[in-house]
Amino acid sequence: MASELVVAVAGATGAVGREMLKTLEMRNFPATKVIPLASSRSVGKTVPYKGQELPVSELKEDSFQGVHLALFSAGGGTSKTFAPHAAKAGCIVVDNSSAWRMDPEVPLVVPEVNPDHLDNHKGIIANPNCSTIQMVVALKPIHDAARIKRVVVSTYQAVSGTGQKAIDELDGQVRAMYNNRDIPVNVYAHRIAFNCLPHIDRFLDDGYTFEEEKMMLETKKIMGDDSIRVTATTVRVPVFYGHSEAVNIETERKLTAAEARDILSKAPGIVVMDDPSNNEYPMALTAAGQDPVFVGRIREDRSLENGLDIWVVADNIRKGAALNAVQIAEILLQKKLLG
């Protein structure tokens, strides 16, 4: 590794950006300098890193001179505008937005699933959608063992996936309700407190949402198999941290629940929690603040010849965003593609 490794975090004041800084610190990422970037609104603010308060600079086209790695989580439009400038300056971008994910020139990577896709990067690497990341970590070992034909997934997604303003909105709505005040509704189309919204991201012409389409298309790209059919229903629930997913899987070869449990418990990045007799199964509360993808409720689907039902939970800000991005950077270092 070169002696210098300068890392920028674009969107450093946001929910994911702050977690990126925390993750770099917690995993002892060998950055020699960390530069937090955000909009002009945040100039004058600081963000914590390794016991210090780092001043936030404005993200600009020329922010990336001398920067080796940039972790972006500042929205799709910002990534579309600034990631090419970063790449042109010789910086490797790991982008958490949906802006580049389906670009055939851009690897879309989950380290437990397709680290080899990093080998041909051209300066921009995409971090997948949060719900997709945790699902493919669980699907990959099952696909390797029994070939997946079709997946039907329903999600229960935390508000932190929308960003800090949504965390504040759920908190504000609950407080307003208990204090008999008017309930502010700004972030989502409807109240999220004590409600479930079958609406994440915008609606498409055929009735799916863009979030559902992301899960359907990104899964094929990450798994490197266009033949896997996926349908998704994505739902926002009043949970702060941790996405949960009910995943139904149809395979070519039969896997018993015991076989699936064994395969999943040996797979990288997964913790199996599956003891219904003791009320043991993963929950959002289990995953919040944790790194692994938790899998439970593993059972054979009574309605299919070769079918499994599983329940997959992970911290959407960690494995679903910041941790996955930092793991990508760690693999770039291992492969000597960075620094």
So which residues are the catalytic ones?
130, 243
CB of 11 to ligand A2P, least distance (A): 3
Residues facing 231 on adjacent strands? 152
User: Is there binding between residue 80 and ligand A2P (CB under 6 A)?
Assistant: no
According to the binding rule CB under 6 A, does residue 78 interact with ligand A2P?
A: yes
Given 46, 114, 164, 265, the residue binding ligand A2P (CB under 6 A):
164
Distance between CA atoms of residues 254 and 208, nearest Å: 30
Residue nearest ligand A2P, Cβ-based: 14
Asked if 296 touches ligand A2P (CB under 6 A), the answer is no
Among residues 94, 126, 93, the alpha carbon closest in space to that of 214 is found at 126
Question: Which of positions 7-66 make contact with ligand A2P (CB under 6 A)?
Answer: 11-17, 38-39, 41-42, 59
Q: Does 161 bind ligand A2P (CB under 6 A)?
A: no
- Distance, in Å, from the CA atom of 102 to the CA atom of 107, rounded to the nearest integer, reads 9
165 binds ligand A2P (CB under 6 A): yes
Q: How far is the CB of 165 from ligand A2P (least distance, A)?
A: 6
Neighbouring CB atoms inside 10 A of 61's CB total 12
Query: Is residue 265 part of the contact set for ligand A2P (CB under 6 A)?
Result: no
Among 5, 8, 69, 74, binds ligand A2P (CB under 6 A): 74
Number of residues that bind ligand A2P (CB under 6 A): 18
Secondary structure element (H or E) that encloses residue 333, with its range: helix 323-334
Torsion angle, CA of 314/11/222/112, rounded to 10 degrees?
Answer: -50
Inter-residue contact 260 to 310 (CB < 8 Å): yes
Of residues 20 and 142, the one with the C-beta less far from ligand A2P: 20
Q: How many CA atoms lie within 13 A of 313 on its CB side?
A: 26
Contacts of 211 (CB under 8 A, 6+ apart): 129, 131, 157, 200, 201, 232, 234
Binding ligand A2P (rule: CB under 6 A), the pick from 107, 141, 163, 339 is 163
Provide the binding-site residues for ligand A2P, judged by CB under 6 A. 11-17, 38-39, 41-42, 59, 74-75, 78, 163-165
